Amino acid sequence: MSKFIRALTRESVIYPLAAILLGLIFGAIIMLIGGYNPVIAYKSLVIQVFGSSYDIGETIRAVTPLILTGLSVAFAFRSGLFNIGAEGQFMIGMTVATWVGIQWDLPIVVHALVAMILGGIAAGLWGAIAGYLKAKRGVNEVITTIMLNWTALYLSNYIIGFMLEKGQQRTTYLPESAWITSPWFASLFGNSRIHLGIFIALIGALVFYIILWKTKQGYELRAVGHNADAAEYAGMNVGRNIVKAMFISGIFAGLAGTFEVLGVFHYQTIAASSLGYGFDGIAVSLLGMNNPLGVVLAAALFGSLSYGAAGMSFGADVPPEIIRIVIGSIIFFVAAQGIVRWLLIPFYAKRKKEKVL
**Tell me, what amino acid is at 12?**
S
Examine residue 183 and state whether it is found in any structural domain, yes or no.
yes
pLDDT at 8: 44
- Residue 80: partners with Cβ closer than 8 Å, 6 or more residues away: 224, 225, 226, 228, 245
Among residues 348, 113, 103, 78, the alpha carbon closest in space to that of 225 is found at 78
- State the average pLDDT over residues 238-251: 96
pLDDT at 337: 66
- State the average pLDDT over residues 169-175: 90
- State the average pLDDT over residues 38-55: 91
Examine residue 348 and state whether it is found in any structural domain, yes or no.
no
pLDDT above 80: residue 352: no
Among residues 260, 266, 223, 261, the alpha carbon closest in space to that of 242 is found at 223
CA distance 217 to 230: 16
- Residue 351: partners with Cβ closer than 8 Å, 6 or more residues away: none
Give the residue with greater pLDDT, 6 vs 339.
339
- Helical packing angle, 110-137 and 86-103, nearest 10°: 140
**Tell me, what amino acid is at 354?**
E
CA distance 93 to 120: 6
pLDDT at 310: 82
**Tell me, what amino acid is at 318?**
V
CA distance 267 to 130: 28
With a pLDDT cut of 70, the percent of the chain lying above it is: 90
Domain count, the chain: 1
- Cβ-based neighbour number of residue 103 at 10 Å: 9
The answer to whether 45 touches 305, Cβ cutoff 8 Å, is: yes
Residue 92 is inside which H or E element, if any? helix 86-103
The answer to whether 187 touches 195, Cβ cutoff 8 Å, is: no
CA distance 262 to 250: 18
Enumerate the H helices of 104-215 as residue ranges: 110-137, 141-159, 183-187, 197-214
pLDDT at 34: 86
Residue 166 is inside which H or E element, if any? strand 165-167
User: For 88-92, 109-113, 251-255, 306-310, which range has the lowest pLDDT when averaged over its residues?
Assistant: 306-310
Examine residue 22 and state whether it is found in any structural domain, yes or no.
no
- Cβ-based neighbour number of residue 321 at 10 Å: 9
pLDDT at 296: 95
3-state helix, strand, coil in the chain (%, to 5): 80, 0, 20
E-only strand ranges, the chain = 165-167, 170-171
pLDDT tens for 102-156 read: 999 999 989 999 999 999 999 999 999 999 999 999 999 999 999 999 999 999 9
Residue 268 is inside which H or E element, if any? none
CA distance 195 to 289: 27
Examine residue 117 and state whether it is found in any structural domain, yes or no.
yes
Examine residue 247 and state whether it is found in any structural domain, yes or no.
yes
pLDDT tens for 253-298 read: 999 999 999 999 999 998 877 888 999 999 899 888 899 999 999 9
Reduced to 3 states (helix: H, G, I; strand: E, B; else coil), residue 320 is coil
Examine residue 237 and state whether it is found in any structural domain, yes or no.
yes
pLDDT at 340: 67
- State the average pLDDT over residues 35-56: 91
CA distance 264 to 98: 12
Examine residue 313 and state whether it is found in any structural domain, yes or no.
no
**The model's pTM:** 0.91
pLDDT at 23: 87
pLDDT above 60: residue 5: no
Q: What is the mean pLDDT of the chain?
A: 88
Examine residue 209 and state whether it is found in any structural domain, yes or no.
yes
- Cβ-based neighbour number of residue 100 at 10 Å: 23
- State the average pLDDT over residues 199-212: 96
CA distance 131 to 145: 9
pLDDT at 1: 43
Give the residue with greater pLDDT, 23 vs 347.
23
What is the extent of the structural domain holding 74?
65-290
Query: Which range has the top average pLDDT, 46-50, 247-251, 266-270, 315-319?
Result: 247-251
CA gyration radius for the chain?
A: 21
- State the average pLDDT over residues 342-350: 64
